[in-house]
Amino acid sequence: MAGMNDVRINGDRLWDSLMEMAKIGATEKGGVCRLALTDVDKAARDLFVQWCQEAGCAITIDKMGNIFGRREGTDPSLPPVMMGSHIDSQPTGGRFDGIYGVLAGLEVIRTLNDAKLQTKAPIEVSAWTNEEGSRFAPAMVSSGVFAGVFDLAYGLSRADLSGVTMGQELKRIGYAGEAEVGKPVRAFFEAHIEQGPILEAEGKTIGVVTDAQGQRWYECTYTGQEAHAGPTPMRTRRDAMVGAAKVIQAVNAIGHKYAPLACATVGLVQVHPNSRNVIPGQVFFTIDLRHPDDGILSEMDAEIRAVTARVAEEDGLEMAFEQIWYSRPVPFDPTCVAAVRAAAERNGYSHRDIVSGAGHDACYIARVAPTAMVFVPCEDGISHNEIENAKPEDIAAGCQVLFEAVLTRAN
């Protein structure tokens, strides 16, 4: 492409934007807490929209609150080449997870403006609602509605632990858009920190993401009988916490059994009545299973179903068990992946092919558009943590690769 090799993204501007955005929801340990559709999330959305408008973008917000900033192409009839990720975070999240992909996309548009470059297809930067799933389960729900995995009513009805729905919160913060959810997309690219240790350990600057792991999320409730912790003999107890503890150990064992690619986690536990001298009568907990091979993921699924049922029977517990989310393994588009790899090679960046262990909005968009991802290293592989960190030079390199891959598909 004429002139592409001469155009460089502004790494300092991108870094400054990331640090400015990190002030919204900043935590004492240097991270962020921007739970989806809270007032803090609204403030970050407002700043992103402001920056997009300052870059000359037309803003569209759909009925799931997904935000699209559009830079027109010379042929407006073409579907856009889209970039993006998410603004929301974990309760103890970092400064780069998600928001890097959003602001890297904005930097691509800013760089095109600086260079006065026109693309044939329109370019859009997107911010997807509730990617994390930490406030409203499941994860990636709004990109899932966009891709037709969930219907709109399901997406808007997702409720947090207090019973407030996404639809209610979108209206409250002013991001219940009017646009229909879903449209043709020429190609989609998502830049992201790796969230794992591989790139840093191998000294690679760019991860060329070829696939993403499949995921299954479950919710399980064991109900036993509350009783006094002193007078109640051990042999007569129906302790829901003991049952949950056995399953937690089994989940961990399943992860190790299918290593090195498997991951198995219990991340949320709620105990009732949660009193120190009362035998727990009810425990609610979540289970997260992941593997890039769908066949093995199905084996893990069968094992956890068998374990939870056996523990309930042996311990005299009532059980409610539900798989609330299944995201199949995702192979990304070979042409888009090749564009990422070629951009890394053109710039002399060390790189390797890599499988994403985390779910991303790209996993759902891949169902409706050619899609690829760009990974950059994060310090010690740590993410979903306030100490999450990345190097400015790696952040800039990932954005440069994004810029060139996007232009390849847009022209």
Where along the chain do its domains lie? 4-213+329-410, 214-327
> What is the topology classification, in CATH, of domain 214-327?
Alpha-Beta Plaits (3.30.70)
pTM of the shown model: 0.86
Res 5: pLDDT? 61
Domain 4-213+329-410 and domain 214-327 have a common topology: no
d(CA 261, CA 161): 31
pLDDT of residue 327: 87
pLDDT tens, the chain, 411 aa long: 445 568 999 999 999 999 999 999 999 999 999 999 999 999 999 999 999 999 999 999 999 999 999 999 999 999 999 999 999 999 999 999 999 999 999 999 999 999 999 999 999 999 999 999 999 999 999 999 999 999 999 999 999 999 999 999 999 999 999 999 999 999 999 999 999 999 999 999 999 999 999 999 999 999 999 999 999 999 999 999 999 999 999 999 999 999 998 999 999 999 999 999 999 999 999 999 999 999 999 999 999 999 999 999 999 999 999 999 998 899 999 999 999 999 999 999 999 999 998 889 999 999 999 999 999 999 999 999 999 999 999 999 999 999 999 999 999
User: What CATH topology corresponds to 4-213+329-410?
Assistant: Aminopeptidase (3.40.630)
Cα distances from 205 to residues 13, 85, 296, 354, 393, in angstroms, run: 20, 20, 30, 12, 9
Distance separating alpha carbons of residues 319 and 250, to the nearest angstrom: 16
Return the pLDDT at 358. Answer: 86
| 392 class by beta-carbon count within 10 Å (0-12 exposed, 13-18 middle, 19+ buried) | middle
pLDDT for the residue 4 = 57
Q: What is the pLDDT of residue 359?
A: 86
- Residue 138: asked if its preceding bond is cis (omega within 30°), the reply is yes
